[in-house]
Amino acid sequence: MTEDEILKNRKIFLDVSRFYIKRDGLIGLLEYLNCNTDFFSAPASPSHHLDEPGGLCLHSLNVFETLLRIYKSTLQPHVFSDDNACYDPIPEESLAIVALFHDIWKCNRYKPCEKRRKNPYGYWETYSGYEEEDEFPYGHGEKSNLIVSHYLKLHRDELLAIRWHRGAFEAGEAGSQMRKSYYEACRKFALVPLLQSADMLATLCIDPKDYY
């Protein structure tokens, strides 16, 4: 990703955030991301999807666009139909909050480094990559919630959507209390499975680089 592309995505992210989110504390959260983190230049992962400068911001935008489309085309028609809707309408503000900020736990986490691998000819070569350093290993969704909640007052469905956005990957063993909590969150709030679906689609199908 070029520097111009990184700057362009940064502007889009800030514009989208300000357009959809009117909640108190947004300005402080955006200032934190802009001044105290590498959010706009960080990769989305150390070695998989969008493992390049600017990947984290682009992934977050991809998740938001995907989430908005899924909600409007799939769930919203049932919410507003005359039959017995399973869920209440979800404000676009909530969709924006959980999509744009679900992965901010990754800020300041991936450090550039040189790695070694064998090329297709069997010879060792060096290449630029990332290594992980987590000064506060608090968890994935938990840490994103902790950071966002310092600035925005999150609703229950937003907290649970961010907490469980990795779905079964962090749901614990079958029969465990953690897995029960995960499924209960999915049943109670449509935003939970919606964010999971959008994140998985963006990660595996929309982000430019193959996951594996």
Span 129-170, pLDDT tens digits: 899 999 899 999 999 999 999 999 999 999 999 999 998 777
**Which sign does the torsion angle of CA 207, 19, 104, 38 carry?**
positive
DSSP-derived secondary structure for 7-58 = HHHHHHHHHHHHHH---TTHHHHHHHHHHH--TTTS-SSSSSTT-STTHHHH
Q: What are 182-196's pLDDT values in tens digits?
A: 999 999 999 999 999
Determine which helix (DSSP H) or strand (DSSP E) holds 35, and give its type and residue range. helix 26-36
pTM for the structure as a whole: 0.90
Q: Are 9 and 57 in contact (CB under 8 A)?
A: yes
Across residues 98-117, what is the average pLDDT?
93
Q: Are 152 and 25 in contact (CB under 8 A)?
A: yes
CA dist 67 and 99 (Å) reads 7
Q: What are 35-47's pLDDT values in tens digits?
A: 999 999 999 998 8
pLDDT band at 78; cut points 50, 70, 90: confident
- What is the model's pLDDT at position 10? 98
Q: Which of 83-87, 159-163, 177-181 has the highest mean pLDDT?
A: 159-163
Q: From start to end of 110-209, where are the E strands?
A: 110-118, 124-132
Determine which helix (DSSP H) or strand (DSSP E) holds 55, and give its type and residue range. helix 55-70
